[in-house]
Amino acid sequence: MFGWLATHSRSACRFAAPTVQRRWLRVAPPLLAECLPLLGDMLYVSGAETHASPDVPPGWLAARRELSPLLQAHWLAVAGYVGDDGPREWLECLDRHGRLRARLHLLPDTDYLAWDALPAIGVPDVPPVRCGWLPFRPAWACALRLRVRRLAGLDVLDATSAGALSELGRDLAGRIARAEAVPLHSASAG
């Protein structure tokens, strides 16, 4: 039934665009960074504004600047919709000022149990007051696997290339990158 609905919903109403549903959560950046490696392989889309910020939690460091938005996330929007090609889910990471800084997209290769458990680390909240006042300009997309390691007394958020993505995972990552109008990089290319 669901498969039929997903494939025939737009043809039944040709002019309807998919409606994105969002749940807003307030999160602690260190707790989010500790939980993200549990997701395994996912597609990460970073915004153009990736810079060092005093908003990074004390004792944390991003191994590369493209990952710094994850350490600055104070809100998560758990987002999704059902389109012609089936359901899509992603997380939107917003900084303390309500600026969208990054998106994490669910892939068929992502650990679904960890993905479903991730919202439990947040507290349901209303969107940030200034949410969406600046447009999100994606700059970088990469299928990757996050990890946290200790280095000289600091917790370092780092990434490695995604494992052997399934054909469906590679196809979906490519379609999302094209929809975001950014090239798909490998994690080692940074």
Domain spans of the chain, in order of start: 2-11+24-186
Backbone angles phi, psi at 123, to 5 degrees: -110, 125
pLDDT at residue number 178 = 92
Task: Render pLDDT for 2-46 as a digit per residue (tens, 0 to 9).
Answer: 444 444 444 445 555 678 889 999 999 999 999 999 999 999 999
Say which range, 97-106, 115-124, 131-140, 170-179, has the weakest mean pLDDT: 131-140
> pLDDT digit string (tens) for 64-76?
888 999 999 999 9
Question: Mean pLDDT of all residues in the chain?
Answer: 85
Helix (H, G, I), strand (E, B) or coil at 180: helix
Q: Structure pTM?
A: 0.84
What local confidence, expressed as pLDDT, does residue 176 receive?
Answer: 93
Cα distance between residue 69 and residue 75, in whole Å: 11
Which fold does the domain 2-11+24-186 belong to in CATH?
Answer: Heme iron utilization protein-like fold (3.40.1570)
